[in-house]
Chains A and B, each alone.
Chain A
Amino acid sequence: MQSQKTNTGEQGLYAEHKKIYPREVSGYFTRLRMLSVVVLLGIYYLMPFARWDDRQALLFDLPARKFYIFGLTLWPQDFIYLAALLIMAGLSLFFFTALLGRVWCGYACPQTVWTEAYLWMERKIEGNRGRRMKLDKAPTSAAKIRTKALKHTVWIIFSLWTGFTFVGYFTPIYELGGRLFTGDLGPWETFWILFYSFATYGNAGFMREQVCKYMCPYARFQSAMFDSDTLIVAYHPERGEPRGSRRRGTDFEAQGLGACIDCNLCVQVCPTGIDIRDGLQYECIACSACIDACDEIMDKMSYPRGLIKYTTENAAEGKGQHILRPRVMVYATILLVLFGLLVSNLVLRIPLELDVIRDRNTLYRETRDGLIENVYTLKILNMDEQPHRYILRAEGVDGLKLVTDQEEIFVEASSVYEMVVRLQADEFNLEQRSVPVSFHLQATDANHLSIVEEARFLGPGKT
Chain B
Amino acid sequence: MVSTSPFPEKIPSIQKAIAVLWPSFATAIVATGIFFSAFHPKDLVPFNLDIDVSPLAAYSIGFFLFWLLGIVSSYATMYFIISNCQVLNKQQGQFTK
Q: Which residues of A contact B (CB under 8 A)?
A: 10, 13-14, 16-17, 62-63, 65, 76, 79, 82, 171, 186-189, 191-192, 214-215
Q: A14-B11, A62-B55, A65-B55 are in contact. Are A188 and B38 (CB under 8 A)?
A: no
Measured in the bound complex, the distance between the Cα atoms of B71 and A445 in whole Å is 53
Q: Which of B1-17 contact A (CB under 8 A)?
A: 4, 6, 10-12, 15
Distance A171 CA – B40 CA, assembled complex (angstroms) = 18
Q: Given A13-B6, A14-B12, A215-B18, 7 more contacts at CB 8 Å?
A: A63-B55, A63-B56, A65-B40, A65-B55, A76-B40, A79-B37, A186-B56
Q: Provided the pairs A14-B6, A214-B15 are in contact, do residues A186 and B54 lie with their beta carbons within 8 angstroms? A: yes
Please pick, from A14, A17, A79, A192, the residue contacting B60 in the complex, using a CB distance under 8 A: A192
Closest residue on chain B to residue A75 by CB atoms: B37
Q: Give 6 A-B contacts (CB < 8 Å), ordered by A residue.
A: A10-B6, A62-B56, A65-B36, A79-B34, A82-B33, A215-B22
Contact A188 B40 (CB under 8 A): no
Contact assessment for A16 and B12 in the assembled complex, using a CB-CB cutoff below 8 Å: yes
The distance from the CB of A321 to the nearest CB of chain B, in whole angstroms, is: 36
In the complex the two chains form, what is the Cα distance from A215 to B18 in whole Å? Answer: 7
A188 touches B37 (CB 8 A): no
Q: Of A62, A65, A187, A214, which one neighbours B18 at CB under 8 angstroms?
A: A214
Interface residue range, chain B: 20 to 34
Most buried by A among B10, B36, B40, B55: B55
A82 contact set on B, CB distance < 8 A? 33, 37
* Cβ-closest chain B residue relative to A7: B4
Q: How far is the CB of B57 from chain A (nearest CB, A)?
A: 5
Contacts of A65 in B (CB 8 A): 36, 40, 55
Q: Report if A62-B59 is in contact (Cβ < 8 Å); known contacts: A188-B54, A215-B18.
A: yes
Q: In the assembly, what is the distance between CA of A215 and CA of B33, in Å?
A: 22
| Complex interface: chain A residues within 8 A of B56 (CB) | 62-63, 171, 186, 188-189
Give A213's nearest chain B residue, CB to CB: B15
Smallest beta-carbon distance B97→chain A, Å: 15
- Inside 8 A of A192's CB, which chain B residues have their CB? 60
Most-contacted residue by chain A among B33, B40, B56 (CB, 10 A) = B56
Query: Which residues does chain A contribute within 8 Å of B60, judged by CB atoms?
Result: 188, 191-192
Contact A14 B54 (CB under 8 A): no
Please name all residues of chain A whose beta carbon is closer than 8 Å to the beta carbon of B55 when the two chains form the complex.
62-63, 65
B40 contacts across to A, CB distance below 8 A: 65, 76
- Give bound CA distance, A215 to B36, whole Å: 27
CA distance A63 to B57 in the complex (A): 9
Q: Do the beta carbons of B38 and A14 come within 8 Å of each other?
A: no
Q: Inside 8 A of B18's CB, which chain A residues have their CB? A: 214-215
Instruction: With A63-B55, A215-B22 as known contacts, state yes or no: A76 contacts B11, CB within 8 Å.
Output: no
Interface members, chain B 36-63 (any A CB < 8 Å): 36-38, 40, 54-57, 59-60
A76-B38 contact given A65-B55, A191-B60, CB 8 Å threshold: yes
The answer to whether A188 and B15 touch across the interface, beta carbons within 8 angstroms, is no
Nearest B residue (CB) for A191: B60
B38 & A63 in contact (Cβ 8 Å cutoff): no
For B11, the chain A residues whose CB sits under 8 A away are 14
Contact B54 A63 (CB under 8 A): yes
Minimum Cβ distance to chain A for residue B5 (Å): 10
Q: How far is the CB of A188 from chain B (nearest CB, A)?
A: 5
How far is B67's CA from A459's CA once the two chains are assembled, in angstroms? 48
- How far is B61's CA from A238's CA once the two chains are assembled, in angstroms? 58
Q: Give complex CA distance A214, B36 in Å.
A: 30
- Shortest CB-to-CB span from B2 to chain A, Å, is 14
Chain B residues closer than 8 Å to A79, beta-carbon distance: 34, 37-38
Instruction: Report the bound CA distance from A10 to B37 in whole Å.
Output: 40
B34 contact set on A, CB distance < 8 A:
79
